[in-house]
Amino acid sequence: MWTGFYAGLNAGYGFGTNSNVQSVAIGQDKPVGFYSEPVPEVLLDTIDGGAHYLSLPTGAGLAQSGSFANTQNGFIGGGQVGYNYQWGSSFVIGIEADMQGTGIRGASHGIGSGWGSVSYPYLYAVPAGVDSVNLAAPPPSPTIGWDANSVGITSVHSGVDWMGTVRGRVGYLFTPTMLLYATGGLTYGGVYANVNSVAMTTITPNYSGPSFETLSLGGMGLGSSASNYTFVGGGNKSQTLVGWNVGGGLEWMFMPNWSLKAEAIYWNMGNMTVPTATFAAAPDSYHVPLVTVGAVRVNYQGVIARAGVNYHFNWFAPAPVVASY
The share of the chain scoring above pLDDT 70, in percent, equals 66
- Note the pLDDT tens digit of each residue in 59-80: 676 667 777 778 889 999 999 9
Q: For 48, list phi and psi in degrees, rounded to 5.
A: -155, 30
Q: Which residue has the higher pLDDT, 268 or 32?
A: 268
pLDDT beyond 90 at 277: no
Q: For 191, list phi and psi in degrees, rounded to 5.
A: -120, 165
pTM for the structure as a whole: 0.75
* Nearest in space to 171 (alpha carbons), one of 110, 95, 223: 95
SS3 per residue for 146-171? EEEEEEEEEEEEEEEEEEEEEEEEEE
- Note the pLDDT tens digit of each residue in 204-232: 777 665 544 434 333 344 445 677 888 88
pLDDT beyond 80 at 252: yes
- Note the pLDDT tens digit of each residue in 2-59: 999 999 999 999 998 766 777 776 555 444 444 333 333 333 333 333 334 445 566 6
Tell me the three state secondary structure of residue 214. Answer: helix
* Nearest in space to 262 (alpha carbons), one of 313, 302, 314, 304: 304
Burial of 279 (C-beta count, 10 Å sphere; 0-12/13-18/19+): middle
